[in-house]
Structure 1
Amino acid sequence: MGMLEGKVAVVTGAGGGIGREIALGLALAGARVVVNDVGASLTGLGETSAAPGAQTCAIIAQRGGEVVASTDSVAGWDSARRIVAAALDAFGRLDVVVNNAGILRDQIFHKMTPEEWLSVIDVHLNGTFFVSRAAAEPFRRQGAGAYVHMTSTSGLVGNIGQANYAAAKLGIAALSKSIALDMGRFGVRSNCIAPFAWSRMTSSIPAGTPEQKARVAKLQAMGPEKNAPLAVYLASDAARHVTGQIFAARHNELFVFNQPRPVRSVHRAEGWTPETIAAHALPALSAHLAPLDRSPDVFSWDPV
């Protein structure tokens, strides 16, 4: 008996990379799986294809798993509902949703266009909401369910040239916490993973300088399959007490992230003026100001 025996899971963006490995991991653990992928390019532009999702389905079927394909987009209310309906129609229930679908439109902030902003927000943040909202109805009816959302250290920590992606991914972390708070009464859990892996989503990272090449080499050592065990665990009943959390998987390391809380306060009985803030408040608070880090500044050691 696998950890997910009898469960039904939807995995979006499961045509390759991290999504495929998670879908395979869920199936290996006993889940029946809906493999969702529109088969779009990394940017979401151009023609779509059912082939990537079909390949994932074929691997699961060859290993004896039960699987159906979905090619609907996460980035629309009606199409997201069809993704959830695919699970209910094929398997009669839904227990797990893994929100993994994503695109990239990297651009330095002062050159970012409205279309570059909206396209990424639509797939990552709106897509996570749409699919999660559609699944909330069967989850509530059956009094159980697990969401696993993909966030990113680009949002949790920071990165250059990814304002759209970072905003969406940090928004997903907040959305997950809200889902955990709102739906805990129905036995529903919601958690995030910040995955580390070399995949299509990271293949666009620049590698023109020696420093950039060294960073890419580190990422290439991290296979997408390293994220699957954490996703399987969070989807399972073994994690029934875990909700509203942010985890990361980095090769053979696992992390849990803190979440924003006050770290220092100052009080002045007569209140504050701009001048007294400058003279007294900021000197007292300055030791606790967050540095302007990027993800590679925080995760600077080699994965082992």
Structure 2
Amino acid sequence: MTDRQISILHVVLRRPGVAAPLAAEAYDQVLGLLRGITPVVEPLPPDAALLDVRGAQRYFGTDAVQLAEMIRVRALAQQDVDCTIGLAANPLLARLAANTSSTTGGIHVLADPEAARAFLDPLPVLALPGVGPATARTLGGYGLDTVGRLAAAPLPTLQRILGASAGRQLHQRARGIDPTPVATGTPTRSLAAEHSFDRDELDPVEHRRALLDLTHHLGARLRTGGQATGALTLTVRYADRSTSTRSRTLAEPTAHTPALTTTAYRLHDALGLQRARVRGITLRAEGIRPAELAPHQLSLDPVDDRNHRIEAVIDRTTTLFGSTGLTRASLRRVA
């Protein structure tokens, strides 16, 4: 494999010493910087982007590693953003190289098939995109607990366990195969909020409390901006740096906190987290549109009407007094 074929970069963005994702404005500024290197940029909000630098290598007369170094220097100097960059021949390998790194910052290269195989084989199956704790437990029951064992399993066996389509896709990923192109364009209009736990959190009650806090803040930001969201995406980050992601389209676009909370809880329950060591939770509202343009089903439920009125009061007091204003009792901890 030549250096020219190592042309896909997965860039993870962080403020130095800060665990939370970038604010939306800072993220957009870094995207502009990346597009100054190559026009083939796929935004992955709230904290990453995928780049194809084949054309940029020809334009700058350099290789992909040097372009990655250029990105790190410019992002740190211009935006005070540190980049962890995975560099490989396809998006899957580049993402894994960046996200499974034990350190924040730096460039991690998978330069040839042998290096990719040596890197992939010992990883837990949870490291592969699309594999959550429930799927990992199912595969583990058959002794398929690492990517190497998954890659060595016969395709018909995986299809019997997971289904035809999912089995084929996972078999390819375990072998480091990913034909997905980098999709250019602007990101779907979205808002994100993240909760990082002080320690690895196993208690599902604390997971749900964090989700309630996130939906409260997302709902307030949507309502004060006169917006509604059409979908939610939940990303759970584990102690081993792997992640699980689930998305759900809402029945109708909304900024109503109880509706957001119900959907967030369903996404969380669908992951089947049983004693999982959770490091952080990110909730993203997607498909955002002006609230006045969003269709709305009228409700005759007095409880729903009361909740909307309560939200309006909380939003006004928060605008006036900040975090010292009113909030829901369920978000308060009892000393």
TM exceeding 0.5: no
Q: TM-score, normalised by structure 1?
A: 0.26
Q: TM-score, normalised by structure 2?
A: 0.24
User: Which structure would you say has the larger Rg?
Assistant: 2
Indicate the structure with greater strand content: 2
